[in-house]
Amino acid sequence: MDRPALGIPASLVLFSLVQNTVENVARCGAFEREAKDASGVVEDRLSSYSDVLYALRALFASEGSVDRLRFHHFIESLNLKNRYPGFISINFAAYVRAKDKRGFEEAVRRDTSLDARGYPHFAINPPGERSEYFVIVYLEPLADYEFAFGLDLGTNPMRRILKKVAAAVRSQRDSGDLVTSAQPLRVKRAKEAIYLAMRLAGVRKGMPIETVDQRRAAYVGSVGSGFDIESLMKEALNEEMLRYTRIRMYDVGSTDQRDPGSAVAKAAAV
């Protein structure tokens, strides 16, 4: 008589376990769907940000030369504050050969197109003689980013981060692809946040760019941008998902060196 009675609570426990399992599976499935949707939204947002750099490259490729005033007006026309609020800065780094260094610095010092005072103290930084320079010369905005004005991105000192930046600059020149050094930027702003940069090669009008040698010959410099990861995520994801989702970034190395089947590479691709 007792055995059937014992089966009742056992059945209830089993039902509870099955119910919890089903609910957990459902929750996991819902989260996976939301994570996949979020990944797609973030990817689309990053793509729209990169489109700004491709538009800038088109500007350099379609005009004989792009001066500081033309660059300024083009950036203004993009209405970045409202359309791409994640951007904190957009710049152009000119490619300068050693033989042209002195003339380049003097030309920048005399440039009064935006500031009637010119830039009398402009100099490539860090100082020193090198065979080539990749010099940030146009910045929007310039205020609060004076530290980057004249910075040679192609320097390759022993510091690991700067070596990666220098390698990324040469990579985008030779490949013609959009690149990032994947290094967090230190930016003087009111809040602490993570900023990353993207760069894309600019080329001379009408020149072929099918091979590495052709791309080097056509290369005039690179357009670049810094953007705020937090602002970008807030644009892409709703508040509810941001409340229970943590996003991690992984440095998985250069795209031509990492193993696409590795666990870290897979995690970074999600």
Residue 29 has pLDDT above 90, yes or no: no
| Cα–Cα dist 153/169, whole Å | 7
Per the domain annotation, does 74 fall within a domain? yes
Q: Tell me if 4 is assigned to some domain.
A: no
Structure tokens at 196: 């990353």
CA 57 to chain centre: 15
pLDDT at 106: 97
Residue 25 lies in a domain: no
pLDDT at 24 over 60: no
Average pLDDT score over the chain: 77
pTM of the model: 0.74
The number of folded domains in the chain is 1
- Residue 253 domain-assigned? yes
191 part of a folded domain: yes
**pLDDT, position 89:** 87
Model pLDDT for residues 64-111, shown as the tens digit of each residue? 789 999 999 999 999 988 888 888 889 999 999 999 999 999 999 999
pLDDT at 267: 31
Separation CA 259–CA 266 (nearest Å): 9
94 is a domain residue: yes
**pLDDT higher than 80, residue 241:** no
Is 99 within a domain?
yes
12 falls within a domain: no
CATH code of 243's domain? 3.30.450.350
Q: How confident is the model at residue 254 (pLDDT cuts 50, 70, 90)?
A: low
The pair phi, psi for residue 93, each rounded to 5°, is -105, 115
Interval 116-161: pLDDT, tens: 999 999 999 999 999 999 999 999 998 888 888 999 998 865 455 5
Residue 135's domain comprises 30-269
